A and B are shown apart, each in its own frame.
Chain A
């Protein structure tokens, strides 16, 4: 299984895009979490590994931003444990330990890249 993070714009929220993609690709999509508001939304979903490219391309054709999961890498020598990245993470993969060390749960990461350009010491890479 592979994970994909879909980002819908304000306008796209009013269109049945996910169903259209399922019908077109005939690929099963398992929605893990969805946060949809009139201002836009995000869906985290699982698809079969062999379907990922096809599903991602079909969503992208409809203007949806798609992030296919890769893993973030953190350079601990550069990281200063400020936590600037913490509030950008949509899946709670970044947290603080008791002593305020910033902890990265790579398994949870969906490679949305939101945190990457927020790191002041450029310690996060994909």
Chain B
């Protein structure tokens, strides 16, 4: 029965060639992904599959693995560029004499976190002139050693966007367990799970609408940055097996618009490029009509603690894109606001623009020459040396409660021969810290109650923090131990300067 149903849904209703014929005549029925979902809800998959030829998708997010290749032409006398800067942003020189790659994340050292490669690409697309500076060592055939000039996009032989990882199928939702604000590639995250951020367009995302990559692959023509571009393969870190597919794309920047390509800066993280991508999904069979009807409540992602600076960050829960787009989610028993980082309004606009192009017969579909792989996974980096983490140096902690006397704590310090006593409440949550020095001073001053001498603002660490980071905290605050806490503020142990110096001295 199931097999019969599969045969039915995968039965070809129309080919790409037939769709292109209809586009030529202006007869193709095109819906945006949002409109398709409405139609399927109202009339069912069978009707939608019969009526609709193409569904258009869209996404507009920060895509760091983006950049542009430019060929500036030869100067006289010619130069074999060794190093080059555009508006003071260093360009990479990956090829022969005058080919440059402008990476979105390279920053102007004089304007860090404000202006970078992404902004250079945007400025050029806007038609602005940029300053080019290049140096070389000089050769017999390329004698020149210095070049300084101004260039605009029309001066360039080629100006192509070549992005090696774009359009993530879905992405993590980020939050922060630490007691300090952190600045990440997922934006600004407030302390103690104070907010969350997510990226991706959910049910509008290109790959989510064709999760088996039936119609997407090398050679698929797409909307790219306001112009027409192509998918040139799977993106780096493409991991279809866990629903994290990515795209590698190429497009002519000279035909793009700054509305859909935008330089951007993430404070204390770096610069990047917002890239607008729209992929047309031809409804070749009923199965594709069903897939393009996918809703936000069917796409799930993990809420992840970015407060843990490790490769495998703790996953706190799962959340659907419907919840994420609602603006509030529950994290650790508390409702917090969640920001999208990609523009859902622009994603919708991209899907509508692509729809319009097809309806006006200015955009034709292509069959991929090779579909995107569906079985690859991402491997972690091979490391030839290990980094020590706090976990490995954490020792059991000696604790007390706030109601104890100075005398009782003094006795414990002697009995257990430690210098730090961590003050906890009944459930083991951190309330403060007391050192042997605090106790000595209290005895000298005749203070009896512990409460008066507790240090409340305690610098802490977590098991997954690198020892190097913990050591930096110790020296920054001029202290000799850090309580080790879990994500909820519970005391797990303590790490001391003494133990760290033993490790380093080893």
Chain A interface (Cβ < 8 Å from any Cβ of B): 9-11, 14, 39, 80-89, 95-96, 99-102, 114, 117-118, 120-122
Contacts and interface: CB of A to CB of B under 8 A. Distances in A.
Given A84-B341, A86-B339, A120 B188 contact: no
Nearest to B334: A37
B457 A80 contact: no
A87 B176 CA distance: 13
Contacts of A89: 337
B60 A80 contact: yes
A120 B339 contact: no
Contacts, number: 89
Nearest to B188: A118
Given A39-B179, A80-B274, A118-B267, A88 B345 contact: no
A10 B346 contact: no
A120 B266 contact: yes
A82 B197 contact: no
A87 B196 contact: yes
B188 A117 contact: yes
B163 interface: no
B265 A81 contact: no
Nearest to B186: A84
A85 B274 CA distance: 16
A75 B264 CA distance: 14
Contacts of B195: 87-88
B345 A120 contact: no
B337 A82 contact: no
Contact of B343 (A83, A85, A114, A122): A83
Interface residues of B, number: 36
Contacts of B266: 120
B113 to A, nearest CB: 9
Interface of B: 60-62, 114, 179, 187-188, 190-192, 195-197, 262-267, 272, 274, 327, 336-346, 348, 456-457
Contact of B345 (A84, A101, A117): A101
Given A11-B456, A80-B274, A118-B188, A88 B346 contact: no
Q: Which residue, of A80, A82, A114, has the highest number of chain B Cβ atoms within 10 A?
A: A82
Contact of B457 (A9, A102, A120): A9
A81 B346 CA distance: 7
A117 B267 contact: yes
B114 A82 contact: no
B102 to A, nearest CB: 18
12 contacts: A80-B60, A81-B343, A82-B61, A82-B343, A83-B339, A84-B339, A87-B195, A87-B339, A88-B339, A99-B348, A118-B188, A122-B265
Given A80-B262, A118-B188, A122-B265, 5 more contacts: A82-B340, A83-B341, A87-B196, A88-B339, A101-B345
Contacts of B264: 80, 120-121
A104 B269 CA distance: 25
A121 B348 contact: no
A81 B187 contact: no
A80 B343 contact: yes
A118 B338 CA distance: 13
Given A117-B267, A121-B264, A82 B327 contact: no
B348 A120 contact: no
B364 to A, nearest CB: 29
Nearest to A116: B267
B267 A83 contact: no
Contacts of B262: 80, 121
A82 B346 CA distance: 8
A5 B332 CA distance: 26
B192 A39 contact: yes
A29 to B, nearest CB: 25
A22 B344 CA distance: 46
